[in-house]
Amino acid sequence: MIAMLLQWADRLALAYMLALNSFYALLLLLSIPELWSHWHLAEDEHLTLVLGTEALPPLSILVPAHNEEMTIVESVVSLLTLQYPHHEVVLVNDGSTDATMTRLVEAYDLYEVPPAFMISIASKPVRAYYRSRRYSKLLVIDKENGGKADALNAALNAARFPYVLAVDADTLIEPDALLRLARPFLLGKPVAAVGGTIRVANSCIIAHGRVVEARVDKRMLPAVQVVEYLRAFLFGRLGWNRLGGNLIISGAFGLFKRAHLLAMRGYRTGSVTEDMDLVVRLQRYLREHKLSDTTSFIPDPVAWTEVPASVRVLGRQRERWQRGLLETLWVHRDLLFNFRYGAVGLIAYPFFLFGEALSPLIEVLGYIGIALGVALGAVDLNFVWLFLSVAVLYGMLLSVWAILLEEVSFRRYTRPIDVLRLLFTTVIEGFGYRQLTLFFRLKAFWRMLRGDRRWGVMQREGFASTTAAETRKAA
Amino acid sequence: MRSSVMMVVAIVQGIFFALLLLLIFVNRARQSYRAQRAAAAANRVAEPLQRWLLGIGTAADLANVLRRLPEREALDQLTIHVAPKAAPEHLAQLARALREDRWVRRILAQSTSRWWWRRLDAARLLAVVGSLRDRTLLRQLLADSHAAVQAAASTCLTRVADYALVEHVLDTLHTRPPIVRVFQLRILRENWKHTVPALLERLVPIAPMAKLQVWIALAESVADARCLAPLIAFSNHPVVEMRISAARAIRRYVHPDAQTVLRDMMRDGDWRVRAQAARGLGAVGAADAVTELSLALGDRSWWVRFRSALALAQLGEAGRRALRIARERPDRFVADMASMVCGLSDGAVVELAEA
C-alpha cells in the first residue's frame, strides 16, 4: 500500500515537474520575439533621437524614503537629472528617525509650502510639504511613518502628472531609462502600467549615483542573484508580455497611469508586497471596467538595486516575498480559473499559485517522497539520480539561456570574467542556494499561518563609493 | 522504461547545455569581430568623408568606399556617420552618386519585406538617398504598419516633400502614433513654405475634430503669424477640447491680439481652458493681465490657481507684487498658492510653467 502511494507520489512529482518545466520552456520561447523586437527598437537611432520630445507624457517619480540619510541626497540628484523632458520628483520622508529630512532641507534649500493638493487617498498625517528653491521639479513630503504603501499613497495625492513612477530611494536608475520606459506611449499603445528591468548593483562601479560599469560580485550569494534576476526579467516577464498576464511590475521601478491608481484607492497599506498586490488589482480593474490599456514589461530600461549579500538578509527578503505572494493570491483567490479575467484568471493566476506559491511545498514533499521511496525500496535509486540530474540540469539550462539572451541583446557585462562567473553560478545554484531559498519560502508558510505580518529589516551594505581612479579605469 | 526515457532527456539536456555554452562564446567572438569590422569601416570612410566635406574630394570617392564595405556597415556608416554631418546640397550629390549602386537597390527593395526591421533599413536608407521619384515608395513606407518604419520614412520628407506630399502628411497626421507625429511635425515645421498655406486651408472650424487638434498643435509649433487669426477663431469653438488646444497654441504668439483673446478665455466656463489661458498669459508676458490673473488665484480649480500664480510670477515685478499681496488675502486657497509660488526662483517658475 505504502509502496503504491509512493509510486503515485513519484508519478505526481514527475508530472508536476514536466508541466512546470514545459511552461517555463513556453515562456522562454515567447520571450525571444519580444526581446528581438525591443532590441531592434532600442538600437534604432531614429527612435532615440526623438525620445526627448513633447510626445512623451509628463510623469511624477514617487520616492518613499525611510532612514536613508546616507544616500538620499545623491539619490535625489540622480532622479532630478534623469533624461526626460517633463518630470517631477515627489519624495516622501516616511517618518525617518535619522537625519534624512535635515539633509534634504540643507541640500535642496527646501521651504515649507501649504498643502495645495487634492487629497484623494487617506494616509498617515503629513507634517509638512516642502518645495526646493533650486529645483522646481522637487516636492518633499514629511509625514508620520506608515510604511511604503502609505508613503506612496501620500505621494500619489501630491503628484501632478498623469503617470507615476514608483521607485525605491536606493534604486539607481540609468539616465535614459525613463525615455526607454516611455516607448509604448511613443508607439501609440494605450498603457496602464510599464515595468523595466531591475539588475543587481552589488560590486558594480558606481559614480555620482550612476552605474558606470556592470560587474558580477565575486561572492557567490550576490552573483547567484544576478542570474536569478536575468532569468526573471529577460525571459520570465517578457514571455508573460506575449501571454497578456503580467502580474509583477517591480515596486522598485514601475510606471503606472495615475488615474487608474486613484480609482483603485492607491496602494493597499496592509499588504506585505504592495507591488504585486497593486498589479493584480490593476489587472482586475482593467478587466472589470473593460479597459483596453495594457500592462507590459520592457527589457532595456534599467534600474540597479542592491541585493542581499548575507544569508540572514536573503532569508528575510525571500520569506517576505513568499508571504506577499501567498497573501496576494489568497486575497484575489476568486481570479482562479475565472473566465471573466481572461489570461490573468486562466493562465497567470494558476501559474503563480501552482508553479510559484505552492512549489516549495510540492518540492519538499517530493524530496520526502523520494527519500522514503528509496528507504522502502519502492523507487529505483538509478531513477532517482536521473530524475534529480534532469531537474538540476533543466534549471541550469534556463539560467544559461537567460545569460545567452543577455549576451545577444544588451550585453551589460562586458568583461569576459563576469560572464564566466555567471556561468559558474548556474552550476552551483542547484546545489545549496536553491535548497536555502526553499527553506526560507517554507518558513513563510509557517509565519503566514501564525499571522505574522512583519516586513523584516532589509540591511544594506550601501553602494561602495568608487574612487576617481576606478571610475576613470571603468570609463 | 522510465529510466531510459529519463536518460534520453538528460542526454538531450546535456547536449543543449553544451550548445548554449558554445553559442555564448561564439557570440562573444562574433560581437568582437563585428566591432572590429565597424571600426575598420569607420576608418575607411573617415578620410574620403573629411575630404568631401572640405570640398577637396568628391561624392563619387565616398560612394566608392561605401560600395566596397559590407552592406550592413555601409548602411550604418551612411545613415549614422555621414548623413548627419553633410549639408542638404552635399547629401543630394552623394544620393545621386549612390543611387544606382547594387547594395542601395538591394536594401531599398526590402521595403516590402515581411520583417519590419528590414523595412526600417529601407526607410533609413531612403531618408538619405531618396529623391522626388521615390514619392510612391515613400508613401508606402509612411503607411507602414510599424511606427519605427513610419518615423524613419518621415525623415525623408525634408528631401522630397512637395505641396502634394505635405498635404498627404497633414491629412494623415492624426492617425500617426505619437513618435511619428513628433517627427512629422518637426519636418512640416522645417518645410513651412509648403506647410503654412496647406495648414491655413485646413484650419477651419468645420474640419473633423481629430484632425483639427493635430493641426492646431502644428500651428502652435510653426508659430507663423498668419496662423494666429484662424487660431483666435477657435477661442469660441463650441467644443471645449478645441478651445483648450487653441489657448495652448496661442501662447506661442507674442502679439496684442493673442493677449486680448487669452484674457477673454480666462472667463471661459471650463477650468481647463482657463488654466491654459492663464499659462498663455504668462508665456506671452501679458503685463496688463495682472488683475485677471490675481482674480483667478481664487478660482475653484487648483490648476487655474496654480497656472495663474505661475503666470503672475512670470510677469516681472508687477506680477510678483500681486503675489505678495495675495499671500495676505483671507482666502486660504489664494494665500496658499501665492505662498507656494512666491518661494520659487525665476528659473523654477519658468520650468514649472512649461511643464
Over 90: is that where the pLDDT of A451 sits? no
Q: Report residue B222 as a C-alpha cell.
A: 510653426
Chain B (165-194) residues lying within 8 Å, Cβ to Cβ, of chain A: 176-179, 181-183
| Residue pair A201/A211 in contact by the 8 Å Cβ criterion | yes
Enumerate residues 6+ apart whose C-beta is below 8 A from A77.
Answer: A208, A209
Question: Is any Cβ of chain A less than 8 angstroms from the Cβ of B60?
Answer: no
Distance CA B98, CA B80 (A): 16
DSSP string for B213-254: HHHHHHHHHH--GGGHHHHHHGGG-SSHHHHHHHHHHHTT--
Over 80: is that where the pLDDT of B94 sits? yes
Cβ neighbour number for residue B304 with a 10 Å cutoff: 26
Over 60: is that where the pLDDT of A49 sits? no
DSSP string for A133-200: SS-TTEEEEEE----HHHHHHHHHHH--SSEEEEE-TT-EE-TTHHHHHTHHHHTT--EEEEEEEEEE
Supply the pLDDT for residue A475. Answer: 35
Q: Residue B144 class from Cβ within 10 Å (0-12 exposed, 13-18 middle, 19+ buried)? A: buried
Over 90: is that where the pLDDT of B333 sits? no
Supply the pLDDT for residue A468. Answer: 40
Q: Tens digits of per-residue pLDDT, B207-266?
A: 888 899 889 989 988 888 898 999 999 998 999 999 999 999 999 888 889 999 999 999
Q: Report residue B44 as a C-alpha cell.
A: 575607411
Q: Which of A89-98, A173-182, A257-266, A454-463 has the lowest mean pLDDT?
A: A454-463
Chain A (408-447) residues lying within 8 Å, Cβ to Cβ, of chain B: 408, 411, 416, 419, 423
Enumerate residues 6+ apart whose C-beta is below 8 A from A418.
Answer: A214, A215, A216
**How many percent of chain A have pLDDT more than 90?**
41
Supply the pLDDT for residue A473. Answer: 42
Q: Tens digits of per-residue pLDDT, B95-108?
A: 888 888 999 999 99
| Residue pair B144/B116 in contact by the 8 Å Cβ criterion | yes
Identify the band that residue B12 occupies on the pLDDT scale cut at 50, 70 and 90: confident
Identify the band that residue B188 occupies on the pLDDT scale cut at 50, 70 and 90: confident
| Inter-chain touch A186–B178, beta carbons under 8 Å | yes
Candidates A134, A401, A407; nearest CB to B28: A407
Which residue from A minimizes the CA distance to B350?
A136
Sign of CA dihedral A273, A279, A140, A81: positive
User: Following CA atoms A301, A306, A310, A312 in sequence, which dihedral angle do they give, to the nearest 10 degrees?
Assistant: -90
Q: Report residue B19 as a C-alpha cell.
A: 550548445
Candidates B177, B345, B349; nearest CB to A186: B177
Distance CA A222, CA A218 (A): 8
Distance CA B190, CA B192 (A): 5
Supply the pLDDT for residue A471. Answer: 41
Distance CA B186, CA B220 (A): 12
Supply the pLDDT for residue A474. Answer: 38
Q: Is the pTM of this model over 0.90?
A: no
| Residue pair A111/B322 in contact by the 8 Å Cβ criterion | no
Average pLDDT over residues A111-124: 82
Question: Is any Cβ of chain A less than 8 angstroms from the Cβ of B7?
Answer: yes
Over 90: is that where the pLDDT of B332 sits? no
Which residue from A minimizes the CA distance to B148?
A47
Residue boundaries of the structural domains of chain A: 1-50+190-475
Q: Tens digits of per-residue pLDDT, A155-182?
A: 999 998 889 999 988 788 988 888 888 8
Over 60: is that where the pLDDT of B16 sits? yes
Q: Does the complex come out with an ipTM higher than 0.85?
A: no
Over 80: is that where the pLDDT of A368 sits? yes
Q: Of B303, B280, B298, whose CA–CA distance to B223 is shortest?
A: B280
Residues of A in contact with B151 (CB under 8 A): 46-47, 50
Q: Are strands A126-132 and A138-143 parallel, antiparallel or unpaired?
A: antiparallel
| Residue pair A276/A328 in contact by the 8 Å Cβ criterion | yes
Question: What count of CB pairs under 8 Å joins A to B?
Answer: 131
